[in-house]
Structure 1
Protein backbone atom coordinates (compact mmCIF):
# COMPACT_ATOMS: atom_id res chain seq x y z
CA UNK A 1 0.00 0.00 0.00
CA UNK A 2 1.35 3.40 -0.98
CA UNK A 3 1.72 5.83 1.87
CA UNK A 4 -0.77 8.25 0.34
CA UNK A 5 -3.45 5.57 0.76
CA UNK A 6 -2.78 5.56 4.50
CA UNK A 7 -4.12 9.09 4.90
CA UNK A 8 -7.82 8.18 5.09
CA UNK A 9 -7.34 5.29 7.57
CA UNK A 10 -5.20 7.57 9.75
CA UNK A 11 -7.85 10.30 9.68
CA UNK A 12 -10.51 7.74 10.62
CA UNK A 13 -8.39 6.48 13.53
CA UNK A 14 -7.86 10.05 14.77
CA UNK A 15 -11.60 10.72 14.63
CA UNK A 16 -12.43 7.45 16.42
CA UNK A 17 -9.83 8.14 19.12
CA UNK A 18 -11.31 11.58 19.69
CA UNK A 19 -14.85 10.15 19.76
CA UNK A 20 -13.96 7.48 22.30
CA UNK A 21 -12.41 10.11 24.55
CA UNK A 22 -16.02 10.29 25.80
CA UNK A 23 -15.21 7.17 27.83
CA UNK A 24 -12.87 9.22 29.99
CA UNK A 25 -14.73 10.81 32.93
CA UNK A 26 -15.52 14.43 32.08
CA UNK A 27 -17.86 17.26 32.96
CA UNK A 28 -21.26 17.25 31.17
CA UNK A 29 -21.22 18.61 27.60
CA UNK A 30 -17.41 18.66 27.42
CA UNK A 31 -16.72 16.56 24.33
CA UNK A 32 -14.77 16.43 21.10
CA UNK A 33 -17.63 16.18 18.62
CA UNK A 34 -17.81 19.79 17.52
CA UNK A 35 -14.07 19.64 16.88
CA UNK A 36 -14.42 16.28 15.11
CA UNK A 37 -17.02 17.72 12.72
CA UNK A 38 -14.71 20.64 11.90
CA UNK A 39 -11.64 18.41 11.59
CA UNK A 40 -13.46 16.10 9.19
CA UNK A 41 -14.54 19.05 7.05
CA UNK A 42 -10.97 20.33 6.92
CA UNK A 43 -9.19 17.10 6.02
CA UNK A 44 -11.56 14.48 4.57
CA UNK A 45 -11.63 14.75 0.80
CA UNK A 46 -15.20 13.75 -0.06
CA UNK A 47 -18.37 15.36 1.25
CA UNK A 48 -19.99 12.05 2.16
CA UNK A 49 -16.94 11.28 4.33
CA UNK A 50 -17.26 14.65 6.09
CA UNK A 51 -20.75 13.73 7.30
CA UNK A 52 -20.71 9.91 7.52
CA UNK A 53 -17.40 9.25 9.30
CA UNK A 54 -18.01 11.60 12.29
CA UNK A 55 -21.63 10.35 12.47
CA UNK A 56 -20.44 6.74 12.68
CA UNK A 57 -17.89 7.71 15.33
CA UNK A 58 -20.65 9.34 17.41
CA UNK A 59 -22.92 6.33 17.02
CA UNK A 60 -20.24 3.72 17.84
CA UNK A 61 -19.04 5.56 20.93
CA UNK A 62 -22.67 6.00 22.03
CA UNK A 63 -23.30 2.26 21.63
CA UNK A 64 -20.47 1.52 24.06
CA UNK A 65 -21.45 4.22 26.54
CA UNK A 66 -25.18 3.38 26.61
CA UNK A 67 -24.81 -0.41 26.63
CA UNK A 68 -21.75 -0.78 28.87
CA UNK A 69 -21.43 2.24 31.13
CA UNK A 70 -25.15 3.00 31.45
CA UNK A 71 -26.56 -0.47 30.77
CA UNK A 72 -28.31 -0.52 34.16
CA UNK A 73 -30.35 2.53 33.15
CA UNK A 74 -31.99 0.74 30.21
CA UNK A 75 -34.16 -2.35 29.90
CA UNK A 76 -32.62 -3.58 26.65
CA UNK A 77 -29.95 -2.90 24.06
CA UNK A 78 -29.89 0.77 23.05
CA UNK A 79 -29.25 1.49 19.38
CA UNK A 80 -30.02 5.21 19.53
CA UNK A 81 -30.40 7.27 22.69
CA UNK A 82 -33.13 9.87 23.08
CA UNK A 83 -32.14 13.06 21.31
CA UNK A 84 -29.47 11.35 19.18
CA UNK A 85 -30.89 12.80 15.96
CA UNK A 86 -30.77 16.36 17.31
CA UNK A 87 -27.12 15.99 18.28
CA UNK A 88 -26.37 14.44 14.90
CA UNK A 89 -28.14 17.32 13.14
CA UNK A 90 -26.01 19.82 15.06
CA UNK A 91 -22.81 18.03 14.00
CA UNK A 92 -23.98 17.95 10.38
CA UNK A 93 -24.51 21.71 10.62
CA UNK A 94 -21.02 22.16 12.08
CA UNK A 95 -19.59 20.00 9.30
CA UNK A 96 -21.38 22.13 6.70
CA UNK A 97 -19.93 25.25 8.32
CA UNK A 98 -16.49 23.63 8.14
CA UNK A 99 -16.90 22.91 4.42
CA UNK A 100 -17.71 26.58 3.89
CA UNK A 101 -14.85 27.87 6.07
CA UNK A 102 -12.20 25.50 4.73
CA UNK A 103 -13.25 25.47 1.08
CA UNK A 104 -9.93 26.96 -0.05
CA UNK A 105 -7.63 26.79 2.94
CA UNK A 106 -7.29 25.91 6.60
CA UNK A 107 -6.07 28.88 8.61
CA UNK A 108 -5.77 29.66 12.30
CA UNK A 109 -8.43 32.37 12.03
CA UNK A 110 -10.93 30.15 10.20
CA UNK A 111 -10.29 27.30 12.62
CA UNK A 112 -10.87 29.64 15.56
CA UNK A 113 -14.12 30.91 14.05
CA UNK A 114 -15.23 27.33 13.51
CA UNK A 115 -14.38 26.29 17.07
CA UNK A 116 -16.30 29.18 18.61
CA UNK A 117 -19.26 28.72 16.26
CA UNK A 118 -19.49 24.97 16.85
CA UNK A 119 -20.60 25.34 20.45
CA UNK A 120 -23.22 27.91 19.51
CA UNK A 121 -24.62 25.67 16.76
CA UNK A 122 -24.79 22.71 19.14
CA UNK A 123 -26.48 24.86 21.79
CA UNK A 124 -29.15 26.19 19.43
CA UNK A 125 -29.96 22.93 17.62
CA UNK A 126 -30.00 20.55 20.59
CA UNK A 127 -31.91 22.84 22.91
CA UNK A 128 -34.42 23.59 20.18
CA UNK A 129 -34.82 19.81 19.99
CA UNK A 130 -35.37 19.57 23.75
CA UNK A 131 -38.04 22.27 23.52
CA UNK A 132 -39.71 20.53 20.56
CA UNK A 133 -39.87 17.07 22.14
CA UNK A 134 -39.99 17.62 25.90
CA UNK A 135 -43.05 18.23 28.05
CA UNK A 136 -40.93 20.33 30.42
CA UNK A 137 -41.43 23.48 28.38
CA UNK A 138 -44.53 25.13 26.96
CA UNK A 139 -44.81 25.02 23.14
CA UNK A 140 -44.53 28.80 22.95
CA UNK A 141 -41.77 31.33 22.34
CA UNK A 142 -41.71 31.89 26.08
CA UNK A 143 -41.17 28.17 26.61
CA UNK A 144 -38.37 28.19 24.05
CA UNK A 145 -36.72 31.12 25.82
CA UNK A 146 -37.02 29.29 29.14
CA UNK A 147 -35.40 26.19 27.61
CA UNK A 148 -32.48 28.18 26.23
CA UNK A 149 -32.06 30.02 29.52
CA UNK A 150 -31.97 26.76 31.49
CA UNK A 151 -29.25 25.42 29.16
CA UNK A 152 -26.90 28.40 29.47
CA UNK A 153 -24.87 26.88 32.36
CA UNK A 154 -23.94 23.95 30.09
CA UNK A 155 -22.82 26.16 27.19
CA UNK A 156 -19.49 27.00 28.79
CA UNK A 157 -18.40 23.34 28.91
CA UNK A 158 -19.50 22.83 25.30
CA UNK A 159 -17.50 25.82 24.10
CA UNK A 160 -14.41 24.85 26.13
CA UNK A 161 -14.56 21.30 24.78
CA UNK A 162 -14.84 22.52 21.19
CA UNK A 163 -11.94 24.96 21.56
CA UNK A 164 -9.64 22.53 23.38
CA UNK A 165 -10.27 19.55 21.11
CA UNK A 166 -10.03 21.74 17.99
CA UNK A 167 -6.61 22.91 19.17
CA UNK A 168 -5.51 19.31 19.85
CA UNK A 169 -6.85 17.81 16.60
CA UNK A 170 -5.82 20.56 14.21
CA UNK A 171 -2.54 21.31 15.98
CA UNK A 172 -1.57 17.66 16.32
CA UNK A 173 -2.38 16.89 12.70
CA UNK A 174 -0.48 19.95 11.51
CA UNK A 175 2.62 18.73 13.38
CA UNK A 176 2.17 15.27 11.86
CA UNK A 177 1.95 16.83 8.39
CA UNK A 178 5.33 18.48 8.93
CA UNK A 179 6.88 15.09 9.67
CA UNK A 180 5.04 12.92 7.15
CA UNK A 181 4.69 14.35 3.65
CA UNK A 182 1.94 11.93 2.61
CA UNK A 183 -0.41 13.57 5.12
CA UNK A 184 -0.02 16.96 3.46
CA UNK A 185 -2.65 18.34 1.14
CA UNK A 186 -1.96 18.56 -2.59
CA UNK A 187 -1.81 22.34 -2.71
CA UNK A 188 0.99 24.07 -0.85
CA UNK A 189 -0.27 26.11 2.07
CA UNK A 190 -3.90 25.13 1.64
CA UNK A 191 -6.02 22.07 2.09
CA UNK A 192 -7.14 20.13 -0.93
CA UNK A 193 -10.54 21.39 -2.02
CA UNK A 194 -13.22 18.98 -0.88
CA UNK A 195 -14.36 16.81 -3.75
CA UNK A 196 -17.99 16.38 -4.68
CA UNK A 197 -20.01 13.29 -3.93
Structure 2
Protein backbone atom coordinates (compact mmCIF):
# COMPACT_ATOMS: atom_id res chain seq x y z
CA UNK A 1 0.00 0.00 0.00
CA UNK A 2 1.24 3.47 -0.85
CA UNK A 3 1.30 6.59 1.30
CA UNK A 4 -1.70 8.85 0.66
CA UNK A 5 -1.07 12.29 -0.85
CA UNK A 6 -2.08 14.18 2.29
CA UNK A 7 0.40 12.21 4.39
CA UNK A 8 3.11 12.64 1.78
CA UNK A 9 2.60 16.41 1.54
CA UNK A 10 2.48 16.74 5.32
CA UNK A 11 5.66 14.70 5.71
CA UNK A 12 7.56 16.67 3.07
CA UNK A 13 6.48 20.06 4.45
CA UNK A 14 7.26 18.99 8.04
CA UNK A 15 10.66 17.58 7.11
CA UNK A 16 11.67 20.62 5.07
CA UNK A 17 10.54 23.03 7.79
CA UNK A 18 12.22 21.11 10.61
CA UNK A 19 15.46 20.84 8.61
CA UNK A 20 15.59 24.66 8.61
CA UNK A 21 16.11 24.60 12.38
CA UNK A 22 19.75 23.79 11.63
CA UNK A 23 20.17 27.49 10.82
CA UNK A 24 19.00 28.58 14.27
CA UNK A 25 21.80 28.81 16.85
CA UNK A 26 21.82 25.66 19.00
CA UNK A 27 24.11 23.66 21.26
CA UNK A 28 26.34 21.15 19.41
CA UNK A 29 24.30 18.16 18.15
CA UNK A 30 21.03 19.51 19.60
CA UNK A 31 19.33 19.33 16.22
CA UNK A 32 16.15 18.08 14.61
CA UNK A 33 17.90 15.81 12.12
CA UNK A 34 17.49 12.57 14.12
CA UNK A 35 13.84 13.35 14.79
CA UNK A 36 13.39 14.18 11.11
CA UNK A 37 14.73 10.73 10.18
CA UNK A 38 12.55 8.91 12.72
CA UNK A 39 9.49 10.93 11.69
CA UNK A 40 10.09 10.29 7.99
CA UNK A 41 10.43 6.58 8.65
CA UNK A 42 7.27 6.49 10.76
CA UNK A 43 5.00 8.61 8.59
CA UNK A 44 6.18 7.25 5.25
CA UNK A 45 6.62 3.63 6.37
CA UNK A 46 4.38 2.31 3.57
CA UNK A 47 6.83 3.61 0.97
CA UNK A 48 10.24 2.58 2.30
CA UNK A 49 12.16 4.34 -0.46
CA UNK A 50 10.34 7.64 0.24
CA UNK A 51 10.84 7.16 3.97
CA UNK A 52 14.57 7.06 3.33
CA UNK A 53 14.82 9.45 0.39
CA UNK A 54 12.96 12.47 1.79
CA UNK A 55 14.77 12.81 5.16
CA UNK A 56 18.14 11.98 3.60
CA UNK A 57 17.59 14.53 0.82
CA UNK A 58 16.67 17.16 3.43
CA UNK A 59 19.81 16.25 5.39
CA UNK A 60 21.96 16.48 2.25
CA UNK A 61 20.57 19.85 1.13
CA UNK A 62 20.81 21.31 4.63
CA UNK A 63 24.38 19.95 4.90
CA UNK A 64 25.27 21.68 1.63
CA UNK A 65 23.92 24.96 2.96
CA UNK A 66 25.40 24.64 6.44
CA UNK A 67 28.84 23.57 5.20
CA UNK A 68 29.11 25.99 2.31
CA UNK A 69 27.48 29.05 3.85
CA UNK A 70 27.68 28.92 7.64
CA UNK A 71 30.97 27.02 7.85
CA UNK A 72 32.50 28.03 4.53
CA UNK A 73 35.51 29.56 6.29
CA UNK A 74 36.54 26.06 7.42
CA UNK A 75 36.85 24.73 3.86
CA UNK A 76 39.03 25.66 0.90
CA UNK A 77 36.34 24.94 -1.69
CA UNK A 78 32.73 23.82 -2.12
CA UNK A 79 31.98 20.76 0.05
CA UNK A 80 29.51 18.06 -0.96
CA UNK A 81 30.29 15.73 1.94
CA UNK A 82 32.36 16.29 5.04
CA UNK A 83 34.85 13.76 6.35
CA UNK A 84 32.95 10.98 8.06
CA UNK A 85 29.75 11.64 6.13
CA UNK A 86 29.27 7.92 5.47
CA UNK A 87 29.05 7.29 9.22
CA UNK A 88 26.75 10.28 9.77
CA UNK A 89 24.39 9.35 6.94
CA UNK A 90 24.54 5.70 8.02
CA UNK A 91 23.43 6.68 11.52
CA UNK A 92 20.52 8.67 10.15
CA UNK A 93 19.54 5.82 7.81
CA UNK A 94 19.33 3.58 10.88
CA UNK A 95 17.04 6.20 12.49
CA UNK A 96 14.76 6.08 9.43
CA UNK A 97 14.62 2.29 9.76
CA UNK A 98 13.85 2.56 13.47
CA UNK A 99 11.09 5.07 12.74
CA UNK A 100 9.57 2.80 10.10
CA UNK A 101 9.51 -0.15 12.50
CA UNK A 102 9.28 1.09 16.10
CA UNK A 103 7.51 4.44 15.67
CA UNK A 104 5.23 3.64 12.73
CA UNK A 105 2.13 3.56 14.95
CA UNK A 106 3.02 6.97 16.43
CA UNK A 107 2.94 5.59 19.97
CA UNK A 108 5.07 7.34 22.58
CA UNK A 109 6.89 4.09 23.42
CA UNK A 110 7.90 3.58 19.78
CA UNK A 111 9.04 7.16 19.33
CA UNK A 112 10.97 7.06 22.61
CA UNK A 113 12.51 3.69 21.74
CA UNK A 114 13.53 4.99 18.31
CA UNK A 115 15.03 8.08 19.92
CA UNK A 116 17.07 6.16 22.48
CA UNK A 117 18.27 3.41 20.14
CA UNK A 118 18.82 5.82 17.24
CA UNK A 119 20.86 8.23 19.36
CA UNK A 120 23.02 5.38 20.67
CA UNK A 121 23.58 3.92 17.20
CA UNK A 122 24.39 7.37 15.78
CA UNK A 123 26.85 7.94 18.64
CA UNK A 124 28.48 4.53 18.12
CA UNK A 125 28.81 4.93 14.35
CA UNK A 126 30.01 8.53 14.24
CA UNK A 127 32.54 8.16 17.02
CA UNK A 128 33.83 4.97 15.42
CA UNK A 129 34.22 6.96 12.21
CA UNK A 130 36.01 9.74 14.08
CA UNK A 131 38.37 7.18 15.58
CA UNK A 132 39.09 5.66 12.16
CA UNK A 133 39.62 8.95 10.37
CA UNK A 134 41.19 11.25 12.91
CA UNK A 135 44.87 11.40 13.82
CA UNK A 136 43.69 12.65 17.26
CA UNK A 137 43.08 9.05 18.34
CA UNK A 138 45.55 6.17 18.51
CA UNK A 139 44.70 3.15 16.35
CA UNK A 140 44.02 0.84 19.26
CA UNK A 141 41.32 0.12 21.83
CA UNK A 142 42.51 3.01 24.02
CA UNK A 143 42.06 5.41 21.08
CA UNK A 144 38.58 4.06 20.39
CA UNK A 145 37.59 4.45 24.03
CA UNK A 146 39.01 7.98 24.03
CA UNK A 147 36.89 8.77 20.97
CA UNK A 148 33.75 7.50 22.68
CA UNK A 149 34.58 9.35 25.90
CA UNK A 150 35.14 12.60 24.01
CA UNK A 151 31.77 12.15 22.31
CA UNK A 152 29.68 11.70 25.46
CA UNK A 153 28.54 15.36 25.69
CA UNK A 154 27.42 15.12 22.05
CA UNK A 155 25.46 11.94 22.82
CA UNK A 156 23.45 13.75 25.48
CA UNK A 157 22.71 16.63 23.11
CA UNK A 158 21.83 14.25 20.25
CA UNK A 159 19.40 12.43 22.51
CA UNK A 160 17.87 15.64 23.91
CA UNK A 161 17.52 17.25 20.46
CA UNK A 162 16.05 14.11 18.91
CA UNK A 163 13.60 13.73 21.80
CA UNK A 164 12.55 17.39 21.75
CA UNK A 165 12.08 17.61 17.99
CA UNK A 166 10.35 14.21 17.86
CA UNK A 167 7.81 15.61 20.32
CA UNK A 168 7.38 18.65 18.05
CA UNK A 169 6.97 16.60 14.85
CA UNK A 170 4.77 13.83 16.23
CA UNK A 171 2.79 16.37 18.27
CA UNK A 172 2.19 18.44 15.13
CA UNK A 173 1.06 15.31 13.31
CA UNK A 174 -1.34 14.38 16.13
CA UNK A 175 -2.76 17.90 16.11
CA UNK A 176 -3.07 18.01 12.32
CA UNK A 177 -4.68 14.54 12.29
CA UNK A 178 -7.69 15.99 14.12
CA UNK A 179 -8.31 18.29 11.15
CA UNK A 180 -7.26 15.83 8.45
CA UNK A 181 -8.16 12.30 9.58
CA UNK A 182 -6.31 10.76 6.61
CA UNK A 183 -3.06 11.72 8.39
CA UNK A 184 -3.97 9.38 11.24
CA UNK A 185 -4.38 6.29 9.06
CA UNK A 186 -2.25 3.42 10.28
Q: Same-fold call, TM > 0.5?
A: yes
TM-score by length of 2: 0.91
Deviation at 1:35, TM superposition (A): 0.8
**Number of the residue aligned with 2:123:** 123
**Number of the residue aligned with 2:47:** 46
**Number of the residue aligned with 1:78:** 79
- Of stretches 176-185 and 120-129 in structure 1, the one that deviates more from structure 2 is 176-185
Deviation at 1:54, TM superposition (A): 0.8
Measure, in 2, the Cα distance between the counterparts of 1:31 and 1:93: 17
Answer with 1 or 2: which has the greater Rg.
1
**Number of the residue aligned with 2:180:** 180
SS at match of 2:122: helix
Measure, in 1, the Cα distance between the counterparts of 2:57 and 2:161: 20
Measure, in 2, the Cα distance between the counterparts of 1:34 and 1:102: 13
**Number of the residue aligned with 1:33:** 33
1:13-44 deviations in whole A, cap 9, x for unaligned?
Answer: 11011112100011111111111111111111
**Number of the residue aligned with 1:112:** 112
**Number of the residue aligned with 1:188:** none
TM-score by length of 1: 0.87
Measure, in 2, the Cα distance between the counterparts of 1:20 and 1:102: 23
Gaps of 5+ in 1: 186-190, 192-197
Structural RMSD (CA)? 1.4
Deviation at 1:152, TM superposition (A): 1.0
SS at match of 1:136: coil
Measure, in 2, the Cα distance between the counterparts of 1:65 and 1:108: 31
SS at match of 1:79: coil
SS at match of 2:81: coil
Equivalenced residues, count: 182
**Number of the residue aligned with 2:165:** 165
The list of structure 1 runs, each at least 4 consecutive aligned residues, that deviate by more than 6 angstroms after superposition, is: none
Relative to structure 1, is the Cα distance of residues 106 and 6 closer, same or farther in structure 2, using a 3 angstrom cutoff? closer
Measure, in 2, the Cα distance between the counterparts of 1:22 and 1:102: 23
SS at match of 1:135: coil
Measure, in 2, the Cα distance between the counterparts of 1:102 and 1:156: 21
Note if 1:155 corresponds to 2:164.
no
Gaps of 5+ in 2: none
SS at match of 1:26: coil
